[in-house]
A and B are shown apart, each in its own frame.
Chain A
């Protein structure tokens, strides 16, 4: 029996250390993050950002984002617009309470990194590539990203394509600390 225990223990240690080696760095999302969107009309922000952020610039293959924001937290600065945005006509927050992004691959780009993955808004999932940068700080780091989204691609108020802007610029600024 003893003869089996030691090789078995060695195998477990070896396997665990191998997984430790390939595991990416996990990050905890800081409270002072900003998920903002701007267009001619309206502009605002989302809150309720949560999920898992695994990122290691030295090991992009093991890096992954699986994050979501709460649609009901939309804030345009105007109560009436907030109510409209959450309604059936626009985001339908009751039926589709979250906007999610799950990355499938992260690659290095000329300006930073590209996160390829599935973005789900209003129940519609589209494959997108989100450019982002990561800047290390003393306590962790900051992810920043800026990209455009066409609401019509996600069936958001397609009945009124000219009501407000159809293309919205999204700006993300997400400070993180080591988990």
Chain B
């Protein structure tokens, strides 16, 4: 079971990373602003892989503890945590040499939902039904 969840996490992480990198480029072309110091392909891949692996571990334990309703509980928890995490880009103080910090939440907040969206998108491919 863990092997399947592991590959699901990896696939969701890759999918999410690609979505973030694409969104980062779109944001740059739209606003001509880059937060390269914080948001770059390397950091995006690392954060998304980390988030999806953590989600996978969480999914494994929830599936073990809640045999019947694990899917509902996990989806609810993943969405809630993604939503709660948007406080981070709103509260963070960027280094002063980074211009237009007011545009940072517009870049970072949507990205916080990408791991969950990717997970929900990839998940059916790993289901037996």
Q: Which residues of A contact B (CB under 8 A)?
A: 36, 42-45, 75-83
Contact = CB atoms under 8 A, between A and B. Distances in A.
A41 to B, nearest CB: 9
A76 to B, nearest CB: 6
A77 B90 CA distance: 11
B103 A79 contact: yes
A77 B96 contact: yes
15 contacts: A43-B93, A44-B96, A76-B93, A77-B94, A77-B98, A78-B91, A78-B93, A79-B100, A79-B103, A79-B105, A80-B90, A80-B102, A80-B105, A82-B102, A83-B102
Interface of B: 90-96, 98, 100-105
Contacts of B105: 79-80
B102 A77 contact: no
Contacts, number: 34
A80 B101 CA distance: 9
A45 B94 CA distance: 12
A76 B105 CA distance: 15
A76 B95 CA distance: 9
B101 A78 contact: yes
Nearest to A76: B93
Contact of B96 (A45, A79, A81, A83): A45
Nearest to A44: B96
A173 to B, nearest CB: 13
Nearest to A83: B102
Interface centre among B98, B101, B104, B105 (most CB of A within 10 A): B101
B23 to A, nearest CB: 19
Nearest to B90: A80
A45 B90 CA distance: 19
A83 B102 CA distance: 8
Contacts of A83: 102
A109 B101 CA distance: 40
A162 to B, nearest CB: 19
Contact of A75 (B91, B101, B104): B101
Contacts of A45: 96
B126 to A, nearest CB: 39
A83 B100 CA distance: 12
Contacts of A44: 96
B93 A42 contact: yes
Interface centre among A36, A43, A75, A81 (most CB of B within 10 A): A75
Contacts of A80: 90, 102, 105
A70 to B, nearest CB: 15
A30 B104 CA distance: 29
A135 B105 CA distance: 41
